[in-house]
Amino acid sequence: MPHLVLDLKQDTQARRRMPREDYKNLQQGKIIAGRWKIVEKLGEGGMGAVYMVEDKKRKNFKAAMKVEDDLYEGGVLKLEVFILQQLQKMKDTVKLYDAGKRKMYNFMVMTLCGKDLMTLKRQARKPFCEQTTLRLAISTLYAIKQVGIDVSGCSSDFLCLWRIRRARGLFSGMARSFVAKDENGKLAIRAPREGDQLFRGTPRYCSLNTHYRKEQGRVDDLWAWLHMLIELHIGLPWNRLIDEKEILAMKEKTKPPELIRTCPFEFYKIRDYLETLKYEDRPDYYGLFSECATGLKRVQGSFLDRFEWEGPPDEVVAGTWKIVDKLGQGGMGAVYKVESKKRKNFMAAMKVEDDLYQGGVLKLEVHVLQELQKRRDTVRLFDAGQRRQYNFMVMSLCGKDLMTLKRTMGRPFSERTILRVAITTLYALKQVHECGFVHRDVKPGNFLVGLYGRDRRMIYLVDFGMARSFIAKDEDNQLAIRAPRQGRQLFRGTPRYCSMNTHYRMEQTCPEEFYKIREYLETLKYEDRPDYHGLFSECFCGLKRVHGSFLENYEWEDPPDEMNTALSISESAETGKPLPSLLQNSFTRLSENL
């Protein structure tokens, strides 16, 4: 063995004496691996450089090439290539297009990203606002969660913007896998190494464990993530220090209120939670996402808004829908009033959602609405699709929701109005149930009144993001009631309006949404089909008792136009149909039977 080691050393020394190509200054136009043409140099470091390259096999396709001198025994490019290969199966990660070895250097070609977060902050010359910080918190946490390794070097310099409004992690070569196969060949958490470890990370952002030279786990990445967000928003107390020991001393004596100060108060909860985690613990990513989403909702932020460094938004979506006005927004999306460029004076509502969320609800809403299109008197679905940054769907433009109408009036609805609302909302629920779905979030805010003409008498059920099918095919391939899931379920609904079963985390189905008619509903079980006819009859009896009519205006409407009302009644007398809709026909038949 000694002579082999000597040969290797002599070979290394010989290679160092050879004239070497300056890999940090590759000429523009040079072709690498017969495919990648050097366009320009993007940057360099102590061990390598990064270039923008163009693919000769794909027209106008540009990527980023990272090169590293192969003399470095501790080179990191091989590790980066290995990690990126593992990530290729995951959505929304940096793509690896090519990798190889030249005579004097190694290279890899990956997705061409934008600027890193710290550069963007410096260009803005001001801290990021609370909304931007919370949006970045969600995006960067998603990027970190995708990685099945300990990144170690997590900092704002290694998180860049990919495409538009996307933060993606780049790896500094300090990553390490925290899982390994055990004696039985199964994947398990790797046992932490004993003794002091080499320092891996950036002193400004790393955790105390890293300073103490302990083994790093997922929790240490999250500490660096939190410190990075604080730095982007208000700055860290130790950001002017350079020496690691001084930074450690400052971290140890800085109390949470001083550290977080004017940051989103959700960061307090996140910090307290990170304090409880150990090396082997799996972080509650769902809880962390929820805290950040709660903060984003609190500041009325949306992933569809432009970042501070971006230009004006697009005005036309999918070449058809021109944005007219913004109607509202939530933590995961927004709703816009849009006008069709293909149909004159045709207005609709467009709901958009950032496609970052794996648990996004827009796809589910589109699926439910597609099933409802076979039925009359339901919200119409006009278009749906996916853009590079978001998903969208276009549906009927409705009026205000019931809760907003009540607040606008400044008083409760009368008994007559309540009974009419009971019938129309029950009909809307029946339509959803007959398609095989449970809404699971029935509340006044999800019932919208019609906007135009006779449609104003209708009340539509919207927002199917929590819906779930309660039917499935059995062993004989026949549709049957789906068996309820065992154990405690995730809470779905609004606490103010949901049923007791929902509070108990039991499986929900159609009867639970009619719990106000308590005496009847208490007799029903999960698999029972509600007696919709009986429920309609009860409501009609009440409406008849108070001499109510569906031809009257609602309390929130303008006074009726006597001429239009007379014409409507005259037309009804001639045709025998009070209103040209399946809903009114159903009401008429029911009322005649009472």
Residues noted as catalytic? 157
What angle do helix axes 130-146 and 285-298 make, rounded to 10 degrees? 160
Can you name the residues that pair with 69 across neighbouring β-strands? 105
- Report the 10 Å Cβ neighbour count for 531: 13
Flag whether 66 is marked binding. yes
Question: 253: helix, coil or strand?
Answer: helix
**Contact yes or no for 109/99 (Cβ under 8 A):** yes
What φ, ψ does residue 163 adopt, rounded to 5°?
55, -125
**Contact yes or no for 366/384 (Cβ under 8 A):** yes
Flag whether 351 is marked binding. yes
Strands 105-110, 62-69: parallel, antiparallel or unpaired by DSSP?
antiparallel
How far is residue 352's CA from residue 67's CA, in Å, rounded to a whole number? 40
What φ, ψ does residue 323 adopt, rounded to 5°?
-70, 125
**Contact yes or no for 315/322 (Cβ under 8 A):** yes
Can you name the residues that pair with 98 across neighbouring β-strands? 109
The three-point CA angle 455-458-461 to 5° equals 125
The three-point CA angle 523-526-528 to 5° equals 65
Amino acid of residue 111? T
Torsion of CA 80, 82, 84, 85, to 10 degrees: 160
What φ, ψ does residue 353 adopt, rounded to 5°?
-145, 135
**Contact yes or no for 98/35 (Cβ under 8 A):** yes
**Contact yes or no for 135/182 (Cβ under 8 A):** no
User: Checking phi first, is residue 261 left (phi over 0); if not, alpha (psi -120 to 50) or beta?
Assistant: left
Q: Which residues are annotated as a binding site?
A: 66, 351
Query: Which residues make up each annotated binding site for ATP?
Result: 66, 351
